[in-house]
Amino acid sequence: MIKKLSLIFGSKSKAQEILLLLQNAKTVVRHGFTDQELPRIERFCKEQDLHLVKSNFKVLFADEGVYSNKGLRIAEDDPRPGMYFVYISKDEQKAWLASYYEMMQNHQDLGLVLGYPKCCVDFFCKNFNSQNTNLELNSMNPYTNLSKREQDLVILSHFPCNAECQESVKLGEKYLQAIYMVDKERARELLTQLRVK
């Protein structure tokens, strides 16, 4: 299931988020996509009755994707290759809100509308700046372990404020449960791979 969706969305982690959205485990998801990827994603969302809002700016490719906000913003018509941020939700208003908060660089409300725990949103707002863009903490807890996100193995899409952050662990458990319902193999892969550094 996840594998099939990943052909549309470009990675298993992105496909996983869409699955969580379809299962009502998440209300809005945010991801970066290129011009080339967008048409098939727009088609999928239309078929599934999901609302998609696209940022009115692009981010240069140096960006590390969804976790980091350090990417340099460029105009839509800038010829340099970049990614659009895309906000997808069953609730049109929430997709627009996320897009608006991001445009305004309002990390606080963006984090909350994306469903991140308040403690982690506060942690992000307090510690994130242009010199400190990677807030990843060491974690041996599979639910909060972000160390393999470049290998497409990750459960959360935010920086937990603590490796044992209760709210994050709770969210991670809920997501894994939802993934397990439709793709047992992926759920097992995540759990076993994320137990180790």
- Least distance in Å: CB of 174 to Zn ion? 15
161 binds Zn ion (CB under 5 A): yes
Rounded to an integer, what distance in angstroms lies between the CA atom of residue 178 and that of residue 10? 20
Residue 56 or 166 with smaller CB distance to Zn ion: 166
117 binds Zn ion (CB under 5 A): yes
Residue 9 or 175 with smaller CB distance to Zn ion: 175
Give the count of beta carbons closer than 10 Å to the beta carbon of residue 76: 12
Q: Which of 19, 50, 86, 165 binds Zn ion (CB under 5 A)?
A: 165
First-to-last C-alpha distance (Å) of the chain: 26
Residue 6 or 144 with smaller CB distance to Zn ion: 144
172 binds Zn ion (CB under 5 A): no
Contact region with Zn ion (CB under 5 A), list: 14-22, 89-97, 125-133, 163-171: 163-171
Residue 112, burial from CB neighbour count under 10 angstroms (0-12, 13-18, 19+) = middle
Stated as kind and residue range, the H or E segment containing 139 is none
Q: Which residues pair with 82 in a beta bridge?
A: 60
Under a CB-based contact definition with an 8 Å cutoff, are residues 139 and 148 in contact?
A: no
Residue 95 or 161 with smaller CB distance to Zn ion: 161
- The count of chain residues that interact with Zn ion, using the rule CB under 5 A, is 5
190 binds Zn ion (CB under 5 A): no
Query: What number of residues does the chain have?
Result: 197
Residue 46 or 170 with smaller CB distance to Zn ion: 170
Rounded to an integer, what distance in angstroms lies between the CA atom of residue 46 and that of residue 113? 22
CA 93, chain centre distance (Å) = 18
59 binds Zn ion (CB under 5 A): no
Residues in contact with Zn ion by the rule CB under 5 A: 117, 119-120, 161, 165
